[in-house]
Amino acid sequence: MNVRILKDRTAKGLMLTMTVVAILMVVAIAIGLYLKSRPVLESQSLSSLLFGSQWKPLKGQFGFLPFLMGTVWVTLLAIAFALPISLLTAIFITEYARPMVKRFVFPVLDILAALPSVIYGVWGILVVVPWISKHVAPHFVDFSTGYTVLAAGIVLGIMVLPLLVSLFIEVFSSVPAELREASLSLGATQWQTALRVVVRRSLSGILASSVLAVSRAMGETIAVLMVCGCVVGMPHGLLDACYPIPALIANNYGEMLSIPLYESALMFAALILFVVVLIFNLLSRIVLYRIEKQNE
Amino acid sequence: MIEVKKLNVHIGDNHILKDIDLLFPERSITCIIGPSGCGKSTLLRTLNRLIDSTEGVRIDGQVLVDGEDIIDSQSDITELRRRIGLVSQRPCPLPMSIYDNVAYGCRINRMFKKRRELVLHVRQCLRAVGLMDEIKGRMHAPASRLSIGQQQRLCLARSLAVHPDYILADEATSALDPISSKTVEDLFVSLKDKYSIIMVTHTLRQALRIADNVVFMYLGEIIETGPASQVFNNPQNELTQKYLSGAFS
């Protein structure tokens, strides 16, 4: 056989194998997590695991609702915080800023996105936590350490900000210049054009980027763990401490494994995170597909 | 009337338009012809200041639209652009329905207080470009589902909807099939009683068919201008003669 064709086939086979391995990894992780969580799943019903709020490992009671709610609160807050800021920033950079500004902003965004999350965590402890404790909390509650849902939301929001901004810039830049010109030539202002044409045309991209940011935010561990307070209990407001799932796993895995079922419970926590992110991505795919079909 | 006086446009170090002096007569079709890269489109984009978005652009001179200098930084650009419609080379419907495409400019310029009036106006504009019958009942379907030729007519309807005085067309038929191209061309001819149309075209035949006046440009300069019959039948400049005879394109 011709050597060139042989090389071609080998390369193809190799790449196929790698692709399959990458996909199988995900499946293997899911299966692994499930197998490890089986003991706790057998000891308690699924609904009591998911919706129970009693966390007493020594008594064998594992209710994950406080942790789930912690994750949801912190993630939602982070996105609510980051989304408007990043949208406006990206609109400014793509629609208004001079090329000079763009050349300056891109590297800064890259640096921000590449900063290790522990640095954000330290910054949160040094700046955000004391600020909340001294200036925000006194208006609402008698005392707060500052280690709260709010602190975690802000730190996480700032962490996903550069990611969102650079994704949005990419999305907005892909809108053809002719569309903007069509709108401008009808007497629209730049703001009207940005909002009614650029953002509208980019809806699917905005959604896809937000999903990516939410998935990233849900799984973020270190920075959140450092400022969220890590107190087991249902958060009832922004000034309560919380304990998101990734923080629970990172804090306890390897520490408290002498307690029966504890390891299995932590694996189940990981499985919950895995499934939530998976469902979230699937749902967003469906919405994206709908939007794209509408725009066709 | 649009009058251009001593217009010079630089983009970076390139001198794109050189000392342009021109008068675009009202209620007629003026075709700007010339080989690629001669500055036709730049001239057109200067007339509605879309050129502003080009990086490193510098404009000197005057463009008087009904006596008002639009190059002057004090002028109201959005109002100017409303008065000067644009039909670009490739049809680009906005990412919304057929109806909303036409209604877009009216809404932005707050032209109507009642929805009913807007609906009637949109229908009228679609009728003016011959789309109304073709899209019956599909007014709220996405504009991108129309054929390319229909999309270009929609873009024209969208421009007409904001009551412009002038229409700029940048090779508006070059992306269309021959039949759609003819339809759009006929539309322009039918519209010249109401609007002043300035059209950049690459096709000499088209200019020959529809132009009342012709401007011939070469390397950023106006070489010859005048009534179409004069420029085509009796060109004064040697370059014009060569261009018309097909010596270069």
**Do the beta carbons of residue B34 and residue B218 sit within 8 Å?**
yes
Encoded tokens for A208: 């896809």
**Whether pLDDT at A180 is above 90:** yes
pLDDT at A53: 86
Which residue is closest to A199 within chain B, CA to CA? B95
Residue A103 covered by a domain: yes
Q: What is the DSSP secondary-structure string of B196-212?
A: EEEEE-S-HHHHHHH-S
Provide the residue type at A188 as one letter.
Answer: A
Q: For chain A, what is the radius of gyration of the CA atoms?
A: 23
User: Which regions of chain A does DSSP assign to beta strands (E)?
Assistant: 55-56, 61-62
Encoded tokens for B224: 């010859």
Residue A213 covered by a domain: yes
Give how far A103 is from chain B: nearest CA, Å. Answer: 13
pLDDT at B181: 87
Average pLDDT of each block of 10 consecutive residues along chain B (249 residues)? 92 93 92 91 92 89 89 84 91 92 94 93 91 88 90 93 93 87 89 92 90 93 92 92 86
Q: What are phi and psi of B14, to 5 degrees?
A: -90, 130
Would you list the domain boundaries of chain B? 2-93+165-245
Q: For A90-114, what is the mean pLDDT?
A: 89
Partners of B22 in beta bridges: B4
Exposure letters B127-153 (e unless 16+ CB within 10 A, then b): ebbbbbeebeeebeebbbebeebbbbb
Q: For A184-189, what is the mean pLDDT?
A: 93
Give how far A286 is from chain B: nearest CA, Å. Answer: 20
Q: How confident is the model at residue A16 (pLDDT cuts 50, 70, 90)?
A: very high
Residues of A within 8 A of B78 (CB-CB) are 187-189
Mutate one of B51, B55, B79, B86 to test the A interface: name it (highest A CB count within 10 A).
B86
Strand pairing of B166-170 and B221-227?
A: unpaired
Give how far B182 is from chain A: nearest CA, Å. Answer: 23
Q: Which of A11-25, A97-111, A159-173 has the lowest mean pLDDT?
A: A97-111
**Do the beta carbons of residue A128 and residue A153 sit within 8 Å?**
no
Residues of B within 8 A of A296 (CB-CB) are 142, 144-145
Which 3 state secondary structure label does DSSP give A33?
A: helix
Residues of A within 8 A of B65 (CB-CB) are none
Give dist(CA B181, CA B174) in Å, integer: 8
Which 3 state secondary structure label does DSSP give B20?
A: strand
* B90·A182 Cβ contact <8 A: no
Q: What is the DSSP secondary-structure string of A89-118?
A: HHHIIIIIS-HHHHHHHHHHHHHHHHS-HH
Strand pairing of A61-62 and B221-227?
A: unpaired
| Position with higher pLDDT, B168 vs A260 | B168
Q: How confident is the model at residue A99 (pLDDT cuts 50, 70, 90)?
A: confident
ipTM: 0.90
**Whether pLDDT at A219 is above 90:** no
- When CB atoms are compared, the residue of B50, B84, B92 closest to A179 is B92
Chain A positions with Cβ closer than 8 Å to B: 99, 176-189, 192, 196-197, 200-201, 294-296
Q: Which of A20-29, A100-109, A285-294, B170-179 has the lowest mean pLDDT?
A: A285-294
- When CB atoms are compared, the residue of A99, A184, A201 closest to B95 is A201
Give dist(CA A243, CA B206) in Å, integer: 72
Structural domains counted in chain A: 1
Give how far A296 is from chain B: nearest CA, Å. Answer: 6
Encoded tokens for A30: 């899911």
Question: In Å, how far are A34, A113, A160, A277, B64 from A167, measured between CA atoms?
Answer: 34, 11, 11, 19, 42
Residue A84 covered by a domain: yes
- When CB atoms are compared, the residue of A178, A189, A200 closest to B92 is A178
**Do the beta carbons of residue B211 and residue B184 sit within 8 Å?**
no
Q: Which domain holds residue A86?
A: 67-244
Give dist(CA A228, CA A222) in Å, integer: 10
Q: What are phi and psi of B86, to 5 degrees?
A: -130, 130
Q: How confident is the model at residue A126 (pLDDT cuts 50, 70, 90)?
A: very high
Tens-digit pLDDT profile for residues B73-103: 777 889 889 999 999 988 999 989 999 999 9
Q: Which superfamily is assigned to B2-93+165-245 in CATH?
A: P-loop containing nucleotide triphosphate hydrolases (3.40.50.300)
* B50·A196 Cβ contact <8 A: no
CATH number of the domain encompassing residue A142: 1.10.3720.10
Q: How confident is the model at residue A296 (pLDDT cuts 50, 70, 90)?
A: low
**Whether pLDDT at A292 is above 80:** no
pTM of the full structure: 0.85
Please name which of B109, B104, B83 lies closest in space to residue B93, comparing C-alpha atoms: B104
Which 3 state secondary structure label does DSSP give A49?
A: helix
**Whether pLDDT at A206 is above 70:** yes
